[in-house]
Amino acid sequence: MKNKGNWQKSVVWSGMVVAALSTIGVFCPPQGMAQVPARFYWKTLSGGNAVPLIVESISGNTNPFDSAHTVTPGADFDATLAILGYAHTFSLFDRSAMAAVIMPMGRISGDVTVAGRSVHQSAEGFGDPMLEFDINLFGPPAQKTIPDAMRYEPGFSVDLLADLALPIGEYNSDKSLNLGQNRWYGRLGMPIIWQLGSWVPGRRTTLEFLPAVWFFGDNDDYVGQTMETDPLFQLDAHLSRDFTELLWGSLDAAVYNGGEPTVDGVQGKELSNVGMGFTLGYGVNENLNLTFSYKSTLNDDAPDDLRMDVFMVTLVFGWHPIIEGSRRLQGQE
């Protein structure tokens, strides 16, 4: 009976904590530097669920609620962003898949200096909700049973990722600073996980990449003008390592290129920036996972260079009916 209890405890750990780790990435806001920390696309048992609470503190010269990161030279913005959402994992064509919805909210304020004159603007409320779908294309098959979850190793896996933002967030056409963007936008990406070494809790190491392209519709009422934005290419990279069975960390990097804005025929400057940061993650218990992340742009000395500093705290509650049932059975014995 003791061995059975230890087996169930191992199942609870491998199923629930990994579920929390793998579903956090769904909810990482696509706004704040449009980067998710490592381990966000690790796979878990099909049928899992997660609800996050994410809080970000962001400063820089661009609206963090705008995934295009349009730079406003001479601007100094500060924002607090909160995220609520829900994700569900499932099996599709024998591949691991996930669907999610997130709702950003918060406040932003800033000063813009033009010709020696400073103008202050602020906004608060709800941003544009986003839908996300992810499916594994290459790698281990979907985890449909507890033995599948216990045998899982990512090896080398590739996913297809699609995001779509719904332009229903709060928007005031008289202001250039808003939480909603008054246009459709989305992302296509291919999360890549490369396992380095053995897959034993406490010793896991991964190298992860997320190449993606953001696409933007036109905002036909941007302070009485029309704003167009070219596609933005983004590449995220992470080197992730377990410190203990509960604690892990990663070094993070991001590259942005493109996204040139045009307002009524007047072209702006496309992005060509690099960001660096780190992440620490901790498994609080079988259902809760906590992460701390910091990221900052590097080549941001010129007034029209992208400049952002982001501090993020994420708490995710994850659960699975099979795991919860196993826990209840264990309590009855």
What angle (nearest 5°) sits at the alpha carbon of residue 81, between those of residues 78 and 84? Answer: 180
CB-based contacts of 101, cutoff 8 Å, min separation 6: 85, 86, 129, 130, 131, 132
**2-332: CATH, from 3.30.930.10, 1.10.10.10, 2.40.128.130, 2.40.128.20:** 2.40.128.130
Task: Specify the amino acid at residue 254.
Answer: A
Both structure tokens of 102 = 């997130």
Q: Distance between CA 101 and CA 121 in Å, rounded?
A: 29
Q: Taking residues 108-130, report their average pLDDT.
A: 81
pLDDT at 211: 96
pLDDT at 26: 42
Q: How confident is the model at residue 265 (pLDDT cuts 50, 70, 90)?
A: confident
Tell which wins on pLDDT, 304 or 159: 159
Q: Taking residues 293-319, report their average pLDDT.
A: 88
Q: Residue written as tokens 């400057």? A: 269
- Contact present, 58 and 27 (Cβ < 8 Å): no
Question: In the structure, how many helices (H) and strands (E) does the chain have?
Answer: 4, 18
pLDDT, tens only, 45-63: 899 999 988 899 999 888 8
Please determine, for residue 115, whether its predicted confidence score (pLDDT) is greater than 80.
no
pLDDT, tens only, 5-49: 444 444 444 444 444 444 444 444 455 444 577 888 889 889 999
pLDDT at 11: 42
pLDDT, tens only, 225-261: 999 999 999 999 999 999 999 999 999 999 999 999 9
Q: How confident is the model at residue 68 (pLDDT cuts 50, 70, 90)?
A: confident
Q: Is 149 exposed, middle or buried (0-12, 13-18, 19+ CB in 10 A)?
A: buried
Looking at the DSSP bridge assignments, the partners of residue 272 are 257
Q: How confident is the model at residue 116 (pLDDT cuts 50, 70, 90)?
A: low
Both structure tokens of 56 = 């970000």
Domain map (residue ranges) of the chain: 2-332
pLDDT at 35: 58
Please determine, for residue 314, whether its predicted confidence score (pLDDT) is greater than 50.
yes
Count of CB atoms situated within 10 Å of the CB of 328: 9
Q: What is the DSSP letter of 15?
A: I
pLDDT at 236: 93
Q: What is the mean pLDDT of the chain?
A: 85
Q: Which of 93-97, 108-112, 141-145, 242-246 shows the lowest mean pLDDT across its residues? A: 108-112
CB-based contacts of 120, cutoff 8 Å, min separation 6: 109, 110, 111
Please determine, for residue 191, whether its predicted confidence score (pLDDT) is greater than 90.
yes
Please determine, for residue 109, whether its predicted confidence score (pLDDT) is greater than 60.
yes
pLDDT, tens only, 76-104: 889 999 989 999 999 999 999 999 999 99
For residue 300, which phi and psi values (nearest 5 degrees)? -130, 35
pLDDT at 19: 42
